């Protein structure tokens, strides 16, 4: 209840206030019970009615718990996925684990899963492992300098439309499917490699190739799909990832670092080498390691571009075969449940362990670099 005060009627007006007939006004009565005056209650004192926004908030509150559990599941989904993949691969390969000659598997280059006649199959994966690491090594030798150089140019030197155009081109390169890169290696880069690394017998170029381990004979490469071709294709596939992540790492360096370097008289290249690279080394290292992971796990491009020949490469123009390409090429032909089928899953376990080891090692290196910086 509200007390109505009127200075002109002090002493004659009772403090009793009653609602008016319409429910909106108030009526003040004197001691004789006669109505003296009537006034309106302000609108802000009227009883509040439930509003639509409040109902909407109540509806959102009802979905709060399901959304929370969905977020929790999303956070654990990657771990669950990795565990599920490992369980599936190990379950398929488990029957072959006690039967496989592991020393022969890791030391022999003879991969003959389906021999003719009554010959015993040979599951030697040494050539496949060497082919996988050799193509990845060639790819990193090309991709890391090119990727870091492109990232520095885009981040620090390119301006305006040039910068935006280069970023769009990099994104388009990352969007090209791996099978298309394989066709490029087979039909475009392969013939170029064969023309460059072919020479006449007893020619100077032929002798130079043999001396530099570019070819095993003076006539040069016998085919265009080689270790070098596969390495170049993998490098082109890894460059967009390295450029994108490296540019993000360089842009994350505070501008105050650049301003301080310029104030001390550094030119742009000194600023990049002595200020930006040390400040962004964690991100740059992570970009290179992820590029390595992209190269070592690639399948269709290396299947088409490397020649798919089971041998340990001795020169750059030798054809090679990788573990991923072997799994892709032979899984469709292997009889389900056979030794060949199970050994292919063992190759998958080896590849899985290698990629996980690379990720763990890169994480330890990044942590060591951070600890050394502090």
What is the C-alpha to C-alpha distance for residues 36 and 27, in angstroms, rounded to an integer? 7
What is the C-alpha to C-alpha distance for residues 175 and 178, in angstroms, rounded to an integer? 9
The answer to whether the CB of 245 falls within 8 A of the CB of 254 is no
The pair of structure tokens assigned to 37 is: 């005056």
- pLDDT per residue rounded down to tens, the chain (374 residues): 444 444 444 444 444 444 444 444 445 444 455 544 444 545 554 555 555 566 666 666 777 888 888 888 888 998 898 889 889 999 999 999 999 999 999 999 999 988 877 788 899 999 999 999 999 999 999 999 999 999 999 998 988 899 999 989 998 988 899 999 999 999 999 999 999 999 888 889 988 998 988 888 888 888 899 999 999 999 999 999 999 999 999 998 998 999 999 898 888 888 998 999 999 888 898 889 888 888 998 999 999 999 999 999 999 999 999 999 999 999 988 888 899 999 999 999 999 888 888 888 877 777 765 565 55
What is the C-alpha to C-alpha distance for residues 278 and 272, in angstroms, rounded to an integer? 9
The pair of structure tokens assigned to 59 is: 């509806």
Residue 220 DSSP code: B
| Other beta carbons within 10 Å of 56 | 10
What is the C-alpha to C-alpha distance for residues 343 and 335, in angstroms, rounded to an integer? 12
CA-nearest of 103, 188, 157 to 276 is 157
Residue positions counted in the chain: 374
- Does the domain at residues 129-325 carry the CATH identifier 3.20.20.450? no
Quick one: pLDDT at residue 318?
92
| Other beta carbons within 10 Å of 297 | 17
Quick one: pLDDT at residue 12?
45
What is the C-alpha to C-alpha distance for residues 286 and 307, in angstroms, rounded to an integer? 31
Largest CA distance in the chain: 136
Quick one: pLDDT at residue 105?
94
Angle, CA of 287, 292 and 298, to the nearest 5°: 125
Residue owning tokens 């040390």: 278
Quick one: pLDDT at residue 373?
55
Quick one: pLDDT at residue 6?
46
What is the separation, in whole angstroms, between the first and last Cα of the chain?
68
Quick one: pLDDT at residue 360?
83
Quick one: pLDDT at residue 283?
86
The ranges assigned to domains in the chain are 129-325
Q: Which distant-in-sequence residues (6+ apart) come within 8 Å of 301 by Cβ?
A: 178, 179, 181, 182, 185, 230, 233, 234, 237
What is the C-alpha to C-alpha distance for residues 349 and 290, in angstroms, rounded to an integer? 20
Quick one: pLDDT at residue 202?
86
The pair of structure tokens assigned to 22 is: 């319409």
| Other beta carbons within 10 Å of 322 | 29
Residue owning tokens 């390169």: 173
Q: Which distant-in-sequence residues (6+ apart) come within 8 Å of 183 by Cβ?
A: 304
Q: Three-state DSSP class for 311?
A: coil
Quick one: pLDDT at residue 324?
93
What is the C-alpha to C-alpha distance for residues 205 and 218, in angstroms, rounded to an integer? 8
pLDDT in tens, 179-193: 999 999 999 999 999
CA-nearest of 200, 367, 198 to 289 is 367
| Other beta carbons within 10 Å of 66 | 9
Angle, CA of 60, 66 and 67, to the nearest 5°: 70
What are the b/e assignments for 84-110, b being 16+ CB within 10 Å? eeeeebeebbeebeeebeeeebeeebe
């Amino acid at each position: 209840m509200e007390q109505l005060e009127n200075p002109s009627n002090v002493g004659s007006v009772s403090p009793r206030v009653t609602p008016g007939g319409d429910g909106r006004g108030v009526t003040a009565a004197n001691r004789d019970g006669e109505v003296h005056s009537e006034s309106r209650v302000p609108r802000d004192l009227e009883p509040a009615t439930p509003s639509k926004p409040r109902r909407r908030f109540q509806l959102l509150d009802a979905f709060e718990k399901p959304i929370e559990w969905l977020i929790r599941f999303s956070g654990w989904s990657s771990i669950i996925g990795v565990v599920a993949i490992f369980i599936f691969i190990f379950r398929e390969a488990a029957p072959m684990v006690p039967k496989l000659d592991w020393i022969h598997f890791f030391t022999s280059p003879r991969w003959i899963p389906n021999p003719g006649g009554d010959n015993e199959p040979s599951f030697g994966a040494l050539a496949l492992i060497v082919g996988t690491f050799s193509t990845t090594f060639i790819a990193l030798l090309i991709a890391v300098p090119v990727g870091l150089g492109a990232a520095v140019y885009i981040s620090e030197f390119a301006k305006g439309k040039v910068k935006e155009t280069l970023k769009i081109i990099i994104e388009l390169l990352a969007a090209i499917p791996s099978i298309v890169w394989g066709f490029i290696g087979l039909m475009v880069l392969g013939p170029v490699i064969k023309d460059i690394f072919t020479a006449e017998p007893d020619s100077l170029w032929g002798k130079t190739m043999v001396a530099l381990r570019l070819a095993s004979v003076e006539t040069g490469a016998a085919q265009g799909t080689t270790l070098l071709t596969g390495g170049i294709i993998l490098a082109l596939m890894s460059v967009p990832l390295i450029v994108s992540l490296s540019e993000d790492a360089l842009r994350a360096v505070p501008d105050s670092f650049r301003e301080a370097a310029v104030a001390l008289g550094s030119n742009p290249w000194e600023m990049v080498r002595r200020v930006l690279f040390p400040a962004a080394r964690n991100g740059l290292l992570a970009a290179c390691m992820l590029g390595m992971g992209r190269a070592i796990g690639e399948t269709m491009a290396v299947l088409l571009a490397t020649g798919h020949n089971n041998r340990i490469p001795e020169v750059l123009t030798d054809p090679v075969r990788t573990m991923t390409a072997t799994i892709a090429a032979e899984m469709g032909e292997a009889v389900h449940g056979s030794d060949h089928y199970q050994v292919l899953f063992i190759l998958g376990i080896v590849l899985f362990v290698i990629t996980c080891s690379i990720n763990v090692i890169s994480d330890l290196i990044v942590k060591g670099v951070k600890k050394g910086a502090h």
